[in-house]
Amino acid sequence: MSEWIYFIDPPRTEFASTMNASEVAAFQAHFERFERLLADGVLILAGPTTGVDNIGVAVFEAEDEAAAQAVVDADPVVAAGIATARLYPFRVSLLRGRD
């Protein structure tokens, strides 16, 4: 398995405090999906930056780049066109609680 990181770029600054109802619903589905990926052992960590720029960050495992891209493409906020995503190969070098 390889590790991957993707950044979820919202459509505007201060996004978290200005979401409309459809954006809230999409991000709820996004969060629920991350909960499933975590339970399945795929997701390593996820969360947003706080402040004016609410960029999401997710680190996960996938077999290869095609499988990693499929994870990103299936993200409800990406699939709905609400946010864009940037995917990169990644290596978790240090993580508390992990040898």
In a domain, 13, yes or no: yes
Beta strand 2-9 pairing with 56-62: antiparallel
In a domain, 95, yes or no: no
Considering its fold, how many domains does the chain have in total? Answer: 1
In a domain, 97, yes or no: no
Query: 0.85 exceeded by the pTM?
Result: yes
**Could you give the CA distance from residue 97 to residue 11 in angstroms, rounded to a whole number?**
35
Per-residue pLDDT reduced to its tens digit, 39-55: 999 999 999 999 899 99
Q: What pLDDT shows up at residue 97? A: 83
Which structural domain range is residue 79 located in? 2-90
In a domain, 6, yes or no: yes
CATH code of the domain covering residue 57 = 3.30.70.1060
In a domain, 75, yes or no: yes
Per-residue pLDDT reduced to its tens digit, 7-30: 999 999 999 999 999 999 999 999
